[in-house]
Structure 1
Amino acid sequence: MSKVKIAVIGCGSIAQHRHLPEYAMNEHVEIVAVCDIVEERVNKVASEYGVIAYTNYEELLADPEIEAVSVCTPNYLHAPISIAALEAGKHVLCEKPMATSSEEAMNMIEAAKKSNKKLMIGHNQRFVASHQKARKLIEDGELGKIYSFRTAFGHGGPEGWSVDGKESWFFKKNEAFIGAMGDLGVHKTDLLRFLLGEEFVEVGAFIETSAKENADVDDTAVCILRTESGIIGTLAASWSYVSKEDNSTVIYGEKAILRLEEDPVHNLILQYKNGEVVKCELGGIQTNEEGGQTTSHVISHFVQSIISDTIPPVPGEEGMKSLQVILAALESKETSKIITIN
């Protein structure tokens, strides 16, 4: 069986630590090219993987040999590059947040339909073992009726992770469009939609820039969310958690409380109403800290969807619904009102 020929556009940290190593480990993939506007960076990465280096993504997309691309650029380029790639007949795996507006997201989905190519968004939280198990428990009614939840995703900020450190595009509104809410918050809106099996219909948010002096995007946000059936809860996204990363979620139901990624050893803890406690060790959540988990499962799912010609597990439509919650949160902050999501 011939290998899927893949290129990666954007050679920053997410490409270097996730996409490229995971493609390289995948037996069904041949990496053929990489692209980045920083010549020195792209040449270094290209020589590391023994592939062609481009500084212009349009030139890369003109190569008929390339079948699929990962879009790992700053947020404002996600939609234009993804659309250009789809129109060039390539399958696309796009990093999150997929776009900077609903309109851009819709255009991406349309482009995928027109070209009959795959569009997948890189929401990896769904594939974490504890989250997979949690969804099954909730679906099976183990918690009974769900009342509420709280989830958080926070760390010290992208300067410790981004290839450009403090000078990173993450802090620039014209390139990032949104800060911690787009970097971390959108992961959690996607996770909650996945776990609860419901859409959010209302959002209220407080969004601030309080921790980062060099940023003109948010670094700390707290949102209140309500689903269609009336489950309410909070979502916190922050670059101001200066010590340990927080990536925890707690779901409160009538029969039990479900604690996910809260305990350093037990990724999933079920606390039943009758006092019984079940603890599971399921292999850690992926983290940027040293010794963190190595695979996000995003790459393997994307490649599998191409090989088997199936719908990717996080198609454009799912990415858009998760993005819309974040967009509504921004609108709530601007208007000081609770926003209804259509």
Structure 2
Amino acid sequence: MRKIRIGIIGSGFMGRTMAETVTRYLIDAELMSIAGGSRAEALAKEYHVDCDPSPSTLFSRPDIDAVFIHSPHSAHAAQVIEAAEQGKHVLVDKPMATSVADCDLMIEASRRNNTRLMVAFGQRFRVCNMVARDIIRDGTIGRIRMISERMLESGSLGALPPWQRRPENLGTLIGHAIHNIDRIRWLTDAEISSVAAHVQRDTLSGNESSAMLLLGLTDGTMATLWESWDIVNPCFPSSGFGSWIAGEKGNLDLDAYGKLRLGKDGVWEVAAEQAPVDWKGKGMLDAVRMESYRLQGEEFLSSIREGRPPAVTGEDGRAAVEVALAAYQSAAEGRTIHLKP
């Protein structure tokens, strides 16, 4: 079986992550080239692959079957559409785009060219999140009644790469806590139908850096989301990426980078656990961190080989973007935004 030949757009933190994923963890794939970003040439040299002068050049190559796009958010739409027009399958980083209209154009381009389009919601492939979904789906805690999501970091927007602070990339809700929005939809198998939000903005960039959302779901579930990059150091004693899930028969205390605890019949027990990422030793390429990217990559490759939609579709990406943008609209207009089913 011929390996699926991969090109990567982006050479920063996630570009390097994907280069490592393809070369070390995806045995059915071969990394061919990297393009985009100031570090593309050095990264390509490190992984012994080509460095194309532009994304367009990479997309036009006949020896590339699929591309991983990890460029700034505002560049996603044009790059995904161009890649699809060149017949390439695409795994695009979250957020899928910065407007719902662009998401629709991306989905249509993929459909028109019969290519796979997957959105990189890698949290769906972390062990505690996967086990939590299994517990919910098998009825252990009954119908979900309430969810409280959080993504909390210290350091302000100054801790992020400069491109994330540019106005066209909007802020940390759409850039990071969109993972939480997707997790709510994924865990409940329901759509978010109403959004009320308040946001705070970074004083230097003007971009959103903290938000609180109150969400209503189509199945009656109530949810909250608190995300912030403005927590003073030290941040709260957890990974900062957690969820409390209240069901009719039990509860879940979910820490995506720690433990999943199941509370039932008056007792808490550990249902799953992710080992700590060795940031000080192996760093960003630690195997614990890389596991979710391996699983995500394998799902993308399988969808290509089997000619089926991937587990995370363009429609999933669109839905999350719509909610994030509704939160910004709600905060700006001081009202609840109701989304069409």
Q: TM-score, normalised by structure 1?
A: 0.90
> What CA distance in whole angstroms lies between the structure 2 residues aligned with 1:191 and 1:276?
25
Aligned to 2:251: 257
Aligned to 2:21: 22
Shift of 1:261: 0.7
Amino acid at match of 1:28: D
Change over 3 Å in CA distance of 1:99–1:288 after alignment to 2? farther
SS of corresponding position for 2:241: coil
Match among 187, 190, 194 for residue 202 of structure 1 = 194
Shift of 1:295: 2.5
SS of corresponding position for 2:291: coil
Confirm or deny: 8 A CA contact 2:157 2:209 kept in the other structure.
no
Aligned to 1:45: 43
Amino acid at match of 1:130: C
Confirm or deny: 8 A CA contact 2:261 2:272 kept in the other structure.
no
Aligned to 2:221: 231
| 1:293 and 2:284 are equivalent in the alignment | no
> What CA distance in whole angstroms lies between the structure 2 residues aligned with 1:111 and 1:125?
26
> What CA distance in whole angstroms lies between the structure 1 residues aligned with 2:194 and 2:247?
20
Shift of 1:140: 1.9
Shift of 1:286: 7.2
SS of corresponding position for 2:43: helix
SS of corresponding position for 1:149: strand
Alignment of 1:1-342 (within 5 A): 1-16=1-16, 18-25=17-24, 26-38=26-38, 41-156=39-154, 159-160=158-159, 165=161, 168-174=162-168, 176=169, 178-209=170-201, 212-241=202-231, 242-244=233-235, 245-261=239-255, 267-272=259-264, 274-284=265-275, 290=283, 293-296=289-292, 297-342=295-340
Query: Which runs of no fewer than 5 residues in structure 2 stay unpaired?
Result: none
Confirm or deny: 8 A CA contact 2:144 2:248 kept in the other structure.
yes
Change over 3 Å in CA distance of 1:179–1:35 after alignment to 2? same
> What CA distance in whole angstroms lies between the structure 1 residues aligned with 2:47 and 2:308?
29
Amino acid at match of 1:10: G
Question: Which range is displaced more, 241-250 or 93-102?
Answer: 241-250
Amino acid at match of 1:131: N
Aligned length: 327
> What CA distance in whole angstroms lies between the structure 1 residues aligned with 2:272 and 2:78?
41
Higher strand share: 2
Shift of 1:270: 1.2
Confirm or deny: 8 A CA contact 1:286 1:294 kept in the other structure.
no
Change over 3 Å in CA distance of 1:183–1:4 after alignment to 2? same
Shift of 1:154: 2.2
Superposed CA deviations along residues 149-169 of structure 1, whole A, max 9, x for unmatched, are 101112235654x5xx4xx11
Superposed CA deviations along residues 203-236 of structure 1, whole A, max 9, x for unmatched, are 0011111xx4432211111101010122112111
How well do the aligned residues superpose, as a CA RMSD in angstroms? 2.0
Confirm or deny: 8 A CA contact 2:131 2:271 kept in the other structure.
no
Superposed CA deviations along residues 178-208 of structure 1, whole A, max 9, x for unmatched, are 2110122211110110001111100001111
Change over 3 Å in CA distance of 1:329–1:287 after alignment to 2? farther
Amino acid at match of 2:267: E
SS of corresponding position for 2:320: helix
Confirm or deny: 8 A CA contact 1:78 1:99 kept in the other structure.
yes
